[in-house]
Amino acid sequence: MFDLKSIFSSDGILSKQITGFRTRPQQLEMAQAIADTIEKHQMLVAEAGTGTGKTLAYLVPALLGGGKVIISTGTKTLQDQLFKRDIPSVRAALKVPVTVALLKGRANYICHYHLERSVQDTHFSFINRDEIQYLQQIERYASISKNGDKSGLSEVPENAAIWQQVTSTRDSCLGSECPSYKKCFVMEARKQALMADIVVVNHHLFFADVMLRDEGLSELLPACNTVIFDEAHQLPETASLFFGESISTGQILDLARDAKVEAIQAAGDFLGLPDAIAAVEKAARDLRLAIAVDNTRLSLAAIKQNSGFCDALDNLLEKLSSLTKLLEHQAERSEGLENCRQRAASHLYLIQRWRDETEMQDHVRWIEVYHQALQLNATPLSIAGIFQKQMVASPRAWIFTSATLSVKKNFTHYSDEMGLAAAQTACWDSPYDFAEQALLYVPTGLPEPHHKTYTDHVVQAALPVLRASRGRAFFLCTSLRAMQRVYELLLAADEFDFPLLLQGQGSRSYMLERFRALNNAVLIGSQSFWEGVDVRGEALSLVIIDKLPFAPPDDPVLSARIEKINNEGRNAFMEYQLPRAVISLKQGAGRLIRDEMDRGVLMICDPRLTTKAYGKQIWQSLPPMKRTRELTEVERFFSVDNDK
């Protein structure tokens, strides 16, 4: 067994090789627990507070433990950071000859087949002249790139519409029937992953590919000895998404677009096809238009009240059924038409299943409405049993780690939701001195959060704190509506001249760059800035949270799960809603202290923190900061900084 104590010591190989490395007892303990878990093929759920250094704590035993390791992260950004920076640093320090592969979802790789189709397609309707220029740049890049990863072509914006035409989806990939199969970038990335010792994926890819066995990764999991989930608090949400079923009008419109191109190129003499495609296209758009509102989730019960929606769904089923039959007669004329036939049949099956009252009894059916698309969803009421089956398939180590998995160091909620009853649990506090570095402020005199002018009162309470902190703040809101209102009120506030940044005014990375550069800005954000954001130093000295982040009870999946738990004679609020809110709040609060030199105030505006019995459970789950309800104490805290 390797000697972790000497590796993590103040004069060990990590301290000699890695800039800024500091010895932390928590990090060593965590690394030892992970090494033990890997050796014994066990399960470990590990919470490590900010600053513990959990990345090194799992990378060192993973690289030294031998065997194949899959590391799954919460975001592509963290994926790239692990692959390009963290793993190379640790590998160099340990001098171990492990091979590493980065694997992303297929939408990140250029598809030769679809690129060629787009270049050849004279009927293609490009949005503007830029798209044609982008297509030419992509074509040149694809001819010289070794991996075809679109992140390597920064000249074409990540959100450019052309990417949809030159990448494949699970639906539109021709697989081994593709004429460009031998030079496929996705297949090459998979080949590298199969040969590598360490494979870095993200949660979406792990569940979409390994669990559903539909992206060719089914060979990866059986071969691996260890699976490590970083940012594991995101897993219940991601697993629910992929263990369910969904079909969107966007997928149907993509099918119509591809079928149109294939029909022109391979079945130009078959006159019935263009009309049938146009009818499906119109039916899909009509279904979206049957719901008048944008960006909402609706339960099955609510949808049943809308006869226009039910009629539009019937019409789409009829038109899709007709197109499927026509494609059956033409499929043999090209691989592309055969692919369209399979997709049409699959989409038809999923819509029929969603519609059928007798199907999916243990799922909750609901719809999500976006600006231009609508998605039919069926989500399992519980994911524990499904995930458990995946884990017991063959012996290996499973490690789940994050800064936020427990409520007052109790992991029951997380373990129950993920089906991890047999897992060991461990918790390491942050090494930072929160009692000295941070202050928790809960203002007095605020109304209950359901009050119609609640956000206005929050801003009034926040203004003197923002002036005392001289800006340098994140104002985190639990809804987009509240975020917009906060922005309007601060914009109109007297004697308030700090720069205001609003989520959506640019990409998250651009907003953070601006925030750091300005050094006195107030960034108003919602979900995007609650986690995965790291601003060290004085630029961020205040985090304001408008209210406790309870998920809206009218969310169809949440309300169905609450009903199920309560029907079983349990308490859904204490067992499910409260722990989820605590974990989310810990993520938001975690933005404040990111370094041992940071100082700052966490202002939580929700009066329920002090008026409700469960409030104590919430603040006891936060890092051990000094607490106050007095504005003067907050001003004194900041005046110490200002005097320096």
280 token code pair: 């499906």
Over range 626-644, report the average pLDDT. Answer: 86
User: How far apart, in whole angstroms, are the C-alpha atoms of residue 610 and residue 445?
Assistant: 12
Give the pLDDT of residue 269.
Answer: 73
Nearest one of 99, 72, 344 to 211, comparing CA atoms? 72
pLDDT digits (tens, 9 = 90+) for 470-505: 999 999 999 999 999 999 999 999 888 899 999 988
- Mean pLDDT over 164-177 rounds to 87
Task: Return the minimum-mean-pLDDT range out of 124-128, 182-186, 332-336.
Answer: 124-128
Instruction: Say yes or no to pLDDT of 574 above 90.
Output: yes
Q: How far apart are CA 86 and CA 55, in angstroms?
A: 8
Which of 193, 205, 181, 197 shows the shortest CA–CA distance to 98?
197
C-alpha span between 19 and 341 (Å, rounded): 56
One-letter amino acid of 296? T
Three-class HEC string of 288-351: HHCCCCCCEEEEHHHHHCCHHHHHHHHHHHHHHHHHHHHHHHHHHHCHHHHHHHHHHHHHHHHH
Q: Give the domain 434-643 fold.
A: Rossmann fold (3.40.50)
pLDDT category of residue 171 using cuts at 50, 70 and 90: confident
State the chain's maximal CA–CA distance in angstroms.
81
- The per-residue pLDDT for 213 is 54
Asked if the domains 24-105+187-242+382-428 and 434-643 are classified in one and the same CATH topology, the answer is yes
Whether pLDDT at 586 is above 60 = yes
How would you list the strands of the sheet with 43-48, edge to edge?
Answer: 100-102, 198-202, 69-73, 226-230, 397-402, 43-48, 424-428
**HSE (side-chain half, CA atoms, 13 Å) at 642:** 12
Judge whether residue 378 has pLDDT over 90.
yes
The confidence score (pLDDT) of residue 405 equals: 96
What's the gap between Cα 372 and its chain centre?
Answer: 21
Could you tell me the sign of the dihedral formed by the alpha carbons of 107, 75, 603, 467, in that order?
Answer: negative
- Per the model's pLDDT, the better-predicted residue between 277 and 128 turns out to be 277
CB 361 within 8 A of CB 382: no
Architecture of domain 244-380: Up-down Bundle (1.20)
This prediction's pTM: 0.91
- Kind plus residue range of the DSSP H or E element containing 400: strand 397-402
Query: Mean of the pLDDT values across residues 202-226?
Result: 71
**Looking at the predicted structure, is the pLDDT value of residue 216 above 60?**
no
Pair type for strands 473-476 and 522-525: parallel
pLDDT at 86 over 90: yes
pLDDT grade, residue 1 (50/70/90)?
Answer: low
Residue 32 has pLDDT above 60, yes or no: yes
- Per-residue pLDDT of 429-442, as tens digits, reads 999 999 999 999 99
Instruction: Give the pLDDT confidence score for residue 552 in this predicted structure.
Output: 87
Residue 101: beta bridge partners? 199
Q: Give the relative orientation of helices 25-40 and 54-64 as an angle to the nearest 10 degrees.
A: 40
Name the packing angle between helices 454-468 and 631-643 (round to 10°). Answer: 30
pLDDT digits (tens, 9 = 90+) for 515-539: 999 999 999 999 889 988 889 999 9
Domain parsing of the chain, residue ranges? 24-105+187-242+382-428, 110-182, 244-380, 434-643
pLDDT at position 220 over 80: no
Beta bridge partners of 474: 523, 543
pLDDT of residue 105: 85
**Assigned token pair, 409:** 């160091």
Tell me which H or E stretch contains 467: helix 454-468
Check if CATH label 3.40.50.300 holds for domain 24-105+187-242+382-428: yes
Q: Is the pLDDT of residue 266 over 90?
A: no
pLDDT at 211: 61
